Amino acid sequence: MTRRRTRPRAAAAAVLVGCALLLTGCGIKRTGVIDSGHAATVKVPGGNSTVLYFLSKEGDRLVPSPITGFEGHHINPVVLVSLLLNGPRGRAGEVGLTTGLPRITDRMDEELAVSPYSHEGVTVRLPFAVGNLPAPARMQLVCTVGLSAVPDTVSPVTLQGTDTTLAPADCDLKR
């Protein structure tokens, strides 16, 4: 009978010793606040750089991809849309960015048009149906064109496809 009582007591003692060791922190000494320098900074595309908006690997959010080599120059919006429709290339493609937009042929490329900016925004005429485009794909077009039409301004963008014309939309980078 003494053996039966000893085992539970030994197990309880082992658990208590283990808890005590965990609570003591295993000899880790307290330290004060350590000064680590300045906060981290991130260079965000904008200002003088032109940006294409592609989708993350998961396809659930927009990711800016700056176009290098054209800093300080305005790129024709039709060229921007054409670059966007050709999908991510270079570093953007290497990191796994993708697009929700259909690829177009050279013949279809000739049918692309972007209206001049007005107070109502910009209209993008596309050679494919836009009514069934997923929301992230629409936002790719809206953000790429809407943020590049007028510097430091979010312009409303109307998408006009072969099937319908969508209501003007503003870039919403939270999507």
**40-79 confidence digits (pLDDT tens):** 554 444 455 688 999 998 888 899 998 876 666 678 889 8
Convert 65-88 to b/e letters by CB count within 10 Å (16 or more is b). bbbeeeeeeeeebbebbebbbeeb
DSSP letter for 10, please.
H
Higher pLDDT pick, 48 / 89:
89
Higher pLDDT pick, 10 / 114:
114
Read off the tokens for 149.
């039409």
Taking CA atoms, 71 is separated from 9, 44, 49, 75, in Å, by 75, 14, 5, 10
Contacts of 102 (CB under 8 A, 6+ apart): 85, 128
- φ, ψ dihedrals at 119, nearest 5°: -65, -20
Amino acid 152: pLDDT: 64
**What pTM value is reported for the model?**
0.69
